[in-house]
Structure 1
């Protein structure tokens, strides 16, 4: 099992960052390089507690499908998305949002716990490539969230 954490300071209040983080459209645009898009379940708007979405994307030259659900939701402090079906043996992504700079900014923390598929081969892939690749994806997504939340705080996500 791998675990990593990414902390990002976003120049927008927690309510805005929380909502932006649950936007299906924003997620898809942040992963545009992999062609990621929602193909089943909730395919537009904001995700909420119990919602499921199936994503299709291309990584490592292969097309993958992953269905995840919002398993915990405490607006605007935190939410969790977990894989229901997909390429990982386990995927658990906790998102936390803490006010910073008197509430004008948000300290956004992502804690990702995952287990690669394929037993020992998956563990080796994790060690050599997967953890670094997944960290890069979260950093790219967070940079996109930072730009979107800062651009237009009045926009309804």
Structure 2
């Protein structure tokens, strides 16, 4: 099963970064390029343990829906979102927030995923998803970084 990590340094306290990372509106704004929006479950505000949200977005010219649940949450250290319905055979995204020792945060995303369709899915993982998904996470993290580093 494919797995990747993305680490992002942010000049803001872990609690601020953690809270922003659970905000539906922050996530939606960070994925504006794909037209992502919340269409079911929690559609605005901050998600909490057990909450679900259904996202709709356009990737590769196709409209996709994915429902994920916050399956673990220990503020301000980490939370996990997992797909409960959607395009992946498996999607498990762990978000970790650690102090960097200088008043900032090291945000670390660990994503495990599997495409559906057996051997065809394996080809998609290796040729497209393996670079596309980390790119999306980096894009989201850059938005979160800018939001967290802005006073407010």
TM over 0.5: yes
Q: Deviations over 1:84-137 (max 9, x none)?
A: 0000000000010000134x1000000000001111001001101111000000
The 4+ residue runs of structure 1 with deviation greater than 3 A are none
Q: Aligned runs of 1:17-96 on 2, under 5 Å?
A: 17-96=17-96
Q: Distance in 1 between matches of 2:104 and 2:111?
A: 22
- Number of the residue aligned with 2:125: 126
What RMSD over aligned residues (CA atoms) do the two structures have, in Å? 0.7
Q: Aligned runs of 1:6-25 on 2, under 5 Å?
A: 6-25=6-25
Gaps of 5+ in 1: none
CA positional deviation for 1:39:
0.2
**TM-score calculated relative to the size of structure 1:** 0.95
Gaps of 5+ in 2: none
> 3-state SS of the aligned residue for 1:45?
coil
